[in-house]
Chain A
Amino acid sequence: MTKAMTISELELQIKALRQEFAADDGLPAGELSVKYLGKNGLFNQLAAVIGQLESTDRPEAGRLLNQLKAELEAAISKRLQEEEQQTEWVDLTIPGIRPPTGHLHPITQAISEITRIFERIGFTRVRYPEVDWDWYVFEALNMPQNHPARDEWETFFVDTPPHPERGRMVLTTHTSNGQVREMERLGQPPIRMINIGRTYRRQQDATHTQVFHQFEGLVVDKGINIQHLKGTIDYFAREFYGPEAKSRIRPFHFKFTEPSFEVDFSCHICHGTGYLEGQVDAETGGTHKCRFCKSGWHEVGGAGMVHPNVLKAGGIDPDEYTGFAFGWGVERTYSLKEGLNLDDIRLLYGTDLRFLEQF
């Protein structure tokens, strides 16, 4: 019969286990856990001797073993936490691997931005036909039969019989056909419309494509005056071009507005001065003129107070209501963004992927 184990013998064995554990310093937490706390680990092997102890010694033995287990668990858990903090070396400068991405077309980007800017001040975006009757494109807009815009050198006509009341079928030369259509849709003021769409003109060069986009604003209500037009344009300039941007209106002529204005935004290159700072001409001693703008300003498009005849055509009493309208090219307006450097708008409709991938 084997002799019963004493407490002191157990203590010696526990001490030996502690020393072995301390010597296993380099082992990872996972291996330590298996070796010491696993099902057949060293702790369980040691704990099995409890049966060889006198029953009076067993409580003390239990206490010692529990203490040992708690120590081992705490040490391994600490090791595990330390290991989780450790990371492998990574080359932080190595080139990334990108997912395939495409690009929104710049005109889409411009239209989204324009839409949001005007929606913030209560404009509702609409869309009207690109192929429309002469009535909406010209006649209702106070343009007489012999107006140059209505002749075949500037406007595309569709080869189809004319409408008995509404005249010939044309490709819209401007988004202004939306003016009377919007008056018809709403029936009565207030109107705050932003109409963005494709437009068509018989011209083609670096700054003109046969197909292009315009955005048209129309506001009709009681008491609308030129100050509101100025306020709206100033607001748009700041939002679209930045807080430094300024706008101005100058006299111009359109048949469907009276008074009519040309709208200018300040040039971001020369900051509205027309001259380039710090560049002195060697010959004359004068400053260099800015070549990007006309004397500090860019002409962006037209605007004006809605002509009474247009209100009448839309069924609105011009004695009771007034309104303003503006219509600008999306491409032109967008091309004036600071630093964009877009000087040939034909590229927008071209097939050069390298160009589009820059957006």
Chain B
Amino acid sequence: MNILIPHHWLLTHLDTDATPPDIQEKLSLSGPSVERVYEREGDSVYDIEVTTNRVDSMSVRGIAREAAVILEQFGIRAGLKEPDYHQISLEPDLPESEQLPLPAIRNNPAVCGRIMAIVLKDVDRTPTPERMARRLRQVDMNIHDSIIDITNYITHEVGHPVHAFDYDKIMALGGEIIVKEAEAGKAFTTLDGLEYHTVGGEVVFENPDGVIIDLPSIKGTLNSSVDENTRNILLLIDSVEASKVRFASMTHQIRTVAAQLTEKNVDPHLALPTLQLGVKLYRELCGAQVASQLFDDFPHQREPEAVFLTFSRLEEYLGVALDPKRISDILVSLGCQLNERENGVEVQPPTYRPDLQIPADLIEEIARIYGYHNLPSQLMAGEIPLQLQDGVDFALEEKIAQFLSNIGWQEIYSYSLVSQELADQSGFAAADHLKLENPLTEDQVYLRRSLWPSLNRFLSENPAAAGVSVFEIANTYLPVAGDLPRHELRLGMVSAKPYRRVKGDLEALLRHLFLDELIVKPQEGVHRQEGDLFVKVGGREVLIGSIFILPRQRTGIDILISALSGAAAGYPRLVPLPKSAPVIEDMTFTLPEKTYAGQVLETIREQAGAIAKVELKDIFGQNFTFTLTYSSPNRAISSEKIKPIRQKIADTLLERYGAHLVGEV
């Protein structure tokens, strides 16, 4: 997440000679990334990305702490200032008789690690002073009045969210704050007037009657928040368990700054300085007086455990040895306490660094402060692993895509998640698809079983482009009971070109893979015209997929890449070149309607060993002209030998297909 830090606000915690460009560059190299610097109302404002494990840097104070360490390493003078509010007393300002009783706070340590609270009396609703207002505007916050703005201001400065309750409302609601996990179905209204119902499990504050009076660590509720009549406030800081905060915040989509901080485990030790700064500002700006003792229930004090780092381990990661003194200096500058040993150092991280848990965490700290840019850059030596993965053939995939695109096919990438409509089109029932439990949009719900519906849709959405042909190589997902789906890598093709051209393109592709014979076997009794695709490999027919006719006379092809991979060859099987010239002649037959010409052609070829090749030359009405090539490996073929073959062909075709030869044998 990002945080905005104005340069001069930063300087209230940081004593340095560094210029804004210095701070931007050096901080980015060794700490949080300063992504941009804006000029706002006469100051440079840093836009800083803080990683989720470093919520300690999500404040002016936190960034100052990082900057002080990093700038010094770059030789720029920098030191962290001790702010005056650390010395503020939280003792009541009023004699006991004028004090106000704290509400009864009943914490649940299982879901809330700390609660601190204090009552402030006679709080004036003064306008927010200009200096504070300017800083808040610089960090994109709205200005209300000082009662409200102080809470935002101190959260930004110190890093712990804080909430100001209307003290009198809390007392009128029963004077009790009960921390608990909500039951489902309870109504609450946030301070901006929006109504919600609990789903159960959100951590809430309730009064004795079971009314929700706050959504702690996320947002206040209307029934307990300050309003224009507020005179006394209860300033309260809580540490609700991080995962509980994220759950409630995401469930109801209430993504406040408070929620985004607390869901990342804010250091509960920050509660005290936060409250101190709050009390200081309410006293100064609103004339408020502390009217109660400080309430502090802190069942979950956290002290990170010590971590032992050996120097040899550090060298292993860095590739260079660092001086132990340098190592110690860096760790101490980051707030760690050290116990130095001969071969390493035992490190006690500060409470705000619970992310430092193992030696590698410390190596990261030392390396980044030392400077990644100071480490050399080199490729690794060593043995190169040669064991290829089974079941993948990247070269084949590339060859297919390259060839198809070269002969006019456009490659596309479509989403593997499809709508109910596209899932239905695939021919598999929606129930036979894997379905997402939590889809983001309705058009991406099912893991597709088939590529062609997406390809077909692509064609429909480009109606202006006539005769377009598109293909995609992608997985389909076949559900398997109790296991991961079978990922089937497929080649999908859909074209608006005439069928013969599409099939010809497929034949050319297969020829490119040294597969000469493509056989289409029409299926019977399916809802559309469809045929199985076989290729001949060493006399064996191998099923590789299917070809089918789609509405608008488009042609679709579906090929399983693994089947193709098993059949394809990387080089041809050469045959001896014939020594004599072949005899080439045509035969024309009149075929009955809906006769499969491919089968007729195959039948012709089977009639004699001397028939080397049969091609369909021409179609005129129902008259199909075939070109036959006769050849014999060793001697010339004579017309006398051919004549009986012609007769056999004519007889067989008449008998099998009712096809009449045009002309004489």
A residues bordering B, Cβ < 8 Å? 99-105, 107-108, 112, 115, 121-122, 124-127, 129-133, 146, 148, 151-153, 156-161, 163, 169, 171, 185-186, 190-192, 198, 200, 202-204, 209-211, 219, 221-228, 230-235, 248-253, 258-262, 294-295, 299, 305, 307-308, 322, 348-349, 351-353, 356-357
The answer to whether B389 touches A228, judged by C-beta atoms less than 8 angstroms apart, is: no
Which of A126, A210, A226 is in CB contact (< 8 Å) with B389? A126
Residue of B nearest to A198 (CB): B416
The complex places the Cα of A225 from the Cα of B321 at a distance, in Å, of 12
Name 9 interchain pairs, CB-CB below 8 A, sorted by A: A103-B410, A104-B411, A161-B482, A192-B384, A259-B360, A294-B35, A322-B316, A351-B458, A353-B468
The answer to whether A132 touches B372, judged by C-beta atoms less than 8 angstroms apart, is: no
Contacts of A161 in B (CB 8 A): 482
B387 at the interface (CB under 8 A from A): yes
Which of A108, A131, A307, A356 is in CB contact (< 8 Å) with B447? A131
Residue of B nearest to A188 (CB): B385
B246 at the interface (CB under 8 A from A): yes
The answer to whether B360 touches A307, judged by C-beta atoms less than 8 angstroms apart, is: yes
Instruction: Using A101-B406, A126-B389, A253-B51 as known contacts, say yes or no to A190 and B436 having CB atoms under 8 A apart.
Output: no
B348 at the interface (CB under 8 A from A): no
Min CB distance A230 to B, Å, is 4
Residue of A nearest to B409 (CB): A102
Given pairs A131-B447, A308-B360, 20 additional interface contacts (CB within 8 A): A101-B408, A103-B405, A124-B386, A124-B389, A127-B394, A129-B484, A131-B434, A157-B436, A190-B384, A204-B441, A221-B382, A225-B317, A227-B377, A248-B372, A259-B367, A295-B28, A305-B363, A322-B317, A349-B415, A353-B465
B444 at the interface (CB under 8 A from A): yes
The complex places the Cα of A17 from the Cα of B34 at a distance, in Å, of 99
The answer to whether B31 touches A102, judged by C-beta atoms less than 8 angstroms apart, is: no
The complex places the Cα of A357 from the Cα of B368 at a distance, in Å, of 45
The complex places the Cα of A226 from the Cα of B243 at a distance, in Å, of 33
Min CB distance A4 to B, Å, is 52
Count B-side interface residues using an 8 Å CB cutoff. 94
Contacts of A105 in B (CB 8 A): 401, 411-413
Min CB distance B135 to A, Å, is 23
The answer to whether B413 touches A223, judged by C-beta atoms less than 8 angstroms apart, is: no
Residue of A nearest to B468 (CB): A353
B residues bordering A, Cβ < 8 Å? 24-25, 28-37, 51-54, 242-243, 246, 250, 263, 316-319, 355, 358, 360-361, 363-364, 367-368, 372-373, 375-380, 382-389, 392, 394, 398, 401-402, 404-417, 434-441, 444, 447, 457-458, 461-462, 465, 468-469, 474-475, 477, 479, 482-485, 487
Contacts of A102 in B (CB 8 A): 404-411, 469
Residue of B nearest to A168 (CB): B437
The answer to whether B379 touches A223, judged by C-beta atoms less than 8 angstroms apart, is: no
The complex places the Cα of A308 from the Cα of B317 at a distance, in Å, of 12
The answer to whether A100 touches B410, judged by C-beta atoms less than 8 angstroms apart, is: no
Contacts of A233 in B (CB 8 A): 377
The answer to whether B416 touches A169, judged by C-beta atoms less than 8 angstroms apart, is: no
The answer to whether B437 touches A127, judged by C-beta atoms less than 8 angstroms apart, is: no
Min CB distance A232 to B, Å, is 6
Residue of A nearest to B249 (CB): A153
Which of B36, B363, B438 is in CB contact (< 8 Å) with A259? B363
Contacts of A126 in B (CB 8 A): 389, 392
Instruction: Using A131-B484, A160-B434, A211-B415 as known contacts, say yes or no to A104 and B361 having CB atoms under 8 A apart.
Output: no
Residue of A nearest to B35 (CB): A294
The answer to whether B440 touches A159, judged by C-beta atoms less than 8 angstroms apart, is: no
Min CB distance B54 to A, Å, is 7
Min CB distance A239 to B, Å, is 12
The complex places the Cα of A132 from the Cα of B37 at a distance, in Å, of 41
The complex places the Cα of A105 from the Cα of B355 at a distance, in Å, of 43
Min CB distance A157 to B, Å, is 4
Min CB distance A316 to B, Å, is 13
Which of A131, A146, A209, A258 is in CB contact (< 8 Å) with B361? A258
The answer to whether A99 touches B408, judged by C-beta atoms less than 8 angstroms apart, is: yes
The complex places the Cα of A340 from the Cα of B440 at a distance, in Å, of 30
Contacts of B484 in A (CB 8 A): 129, 131-133, 169
Min CB distance B278 to A, Å, is 29
The answer to whether B394 touches A115, judged by C-beta atoms less than 8 angstroms apart, is: yes
Residue of B nearest to A209 (CB): B415
The answer to whether B364 touches A260, judged by C-beta atoms less than 8 angstroms apart, is: yes
The complex places the Cα of A146 from the Cα of B250 at a distance, in Å, of 13
The answer to whether A251 touches B52, judged by C-beta atoms less than 8 angstroms apart, is: no
Contacts of A200 in B (CB 8 A): 416-417
Contacts of B411 in A (CB 8 A): 102-105, 108, 356
Min CB distance A98 to B, Å, is 10
The complex places the Cα of A349 from the Cα of B413 at a distance, in Å, of 5
Contacts of B402 in A (CB 8 A): 104
Min CB distance A46 to B, Å, is 40
Contacts of B435 in A (CB 8 A): 158-159
Min CB distance A337 to B, Å, is 18
The answer to whether B410 touches A210, judged by C-beta atoms less than 8 angstroms apart, is: no
Instruction: Using A104-B402, A226-B317, A356-B410 as known contacts, say yes or no to A262 and B384 having CB atoms under 8 A apart.
Output: no
The answer to whether B485 touches A131, judged by C-beta atoms less than 8 angstroms apart, is: yes
The complex places the Cα of A103 from the Cα of B447 at a distance, in Å, of 26
Min CB distance B502 to A, Å, is 13
Instruction: Using A130-B487, A131-B447, A158-B435 as known contacts, say yes or no to A146 and B243 having CB atoms under 8 A apart.
Output: yes
Min CB distance A314 to B, Å, is 14
Min CB distance A175 to B, Å, is 14
The complex places the Cα of A102 from the Cα of B375 at a distance, in Å, of 46
Residue of B nearest to A235 (CB): B379
Contacts of A294 in B (CB 8 A): 33, 35-36
Which of A99, A159, A211 is in CB contact (< 8 Å) with B417? A211
Contacts of A251 in B (CB 8 A): 30-32, 51, 364, 368, 372
Contacts of B367 in A (CB 8 A): 226, 259
The answer to whether B469 touches A226, judged by C-beta atoms less than 8 angstroms apart, is: no
The answer to whether B319 touches A226, judged by C-beta atoms less than 8 angstroms apart, is: yes
The complex places the Cα of A262 from the Cα of B415 at a distance, in Å, of 28
The answer to whether B394 touches A125, judged by C-beta atoms less than 8 angstroms apart, is: yes
Instruction: Using A210-B440, A225-B317, A226-B375 as known contacts, say yes or no to A190 and B382 having CB atoms under 8 A apart.
Output: yes
Contacts of A234 in B (CB 8 A): 377
The answer to whether B407 touches A121, judged by C-beta atoms less than 8 angstroms apart, is: no
Min CB distance A134 to B, Å, is 12
Residue of B nearest to A169 (CB): B484
The complex places the Cα of A250 from the Cα of B410 at a distance, in Å, of 40
The complex places the Cα of A204 from the Cα of B246 at a distance, in Å, of 21
The complex places the Cα of A224 from the Cα of B447 at a distance, in Å, of 39
Contacts of B242 in A (CB 8 A): 146
Contacts of B29 in A (CB 8 A): 248, 250
Minimum-distance CB pairs A-B, first 10 = A259-B364, A100-B408, A253-B51, A122-B384, A258-B360, A230-B377, A225-B319, A146-B243, A351-B461, A102-B405
Contacts of A295 in B (CB 8 A): 24-25, 28, 34-37
Instruction: Using A148-B246, A210-B441, A211-B416 as known contacts, say yes or no to A262 and B317 having CB atoms under 8 A apart.
Output: no
The answer to whether B410 touches A227, judged by C-beta atoms less than 8 angstroms apart, is: no
Min CB distance A216 to B, Å, is 14
Min CB distance A208 to B, Å, is 11
The complex places the Cα of A262 from the Cα of B465 at a distance, in Å, of 43
The answer to whether B378 touches A186, judged by C-beta atoms less than 8 angstroms apart, is: no
The answer to whether A148 touches B375, judged by C-beta atoms less than 8 angstroms apart, is: no
Contacts of A231 in B (CB 8 A): 377-380
The complex places the Cα of A224 from the Cα of B383 at a distance, in Å, of 12
Min CB distance A87 to B, Å, is 31
Contacts of A259 in B (CB 8 A): 317, 360, 363-364, 367-368
The complex places the Cα of A133 from the Cα of B372 at a distance, in Å, of 35
The answer to whether A250 touches B28, judged by C-beta atoms less than 8 angstroms apart, is: yes
Contacts of A133 in B (CB 8 A): 484
The complex places the Cα of A139 from the Cα of B405 at a distance, in Å, of 41
The complex places the Cα of A130 from the Cα of B485 at a distance, in Å, of 10
The answer to whether B318 touches A226, judged by C-beta atoms less than 8 angstroms apart, is: yes
The answer to whether B358 touches A258, judged by C-beta atoms less than 8 angstroms apart, is: yes
Contacts of A159 in B (CB 8 A): 434-437
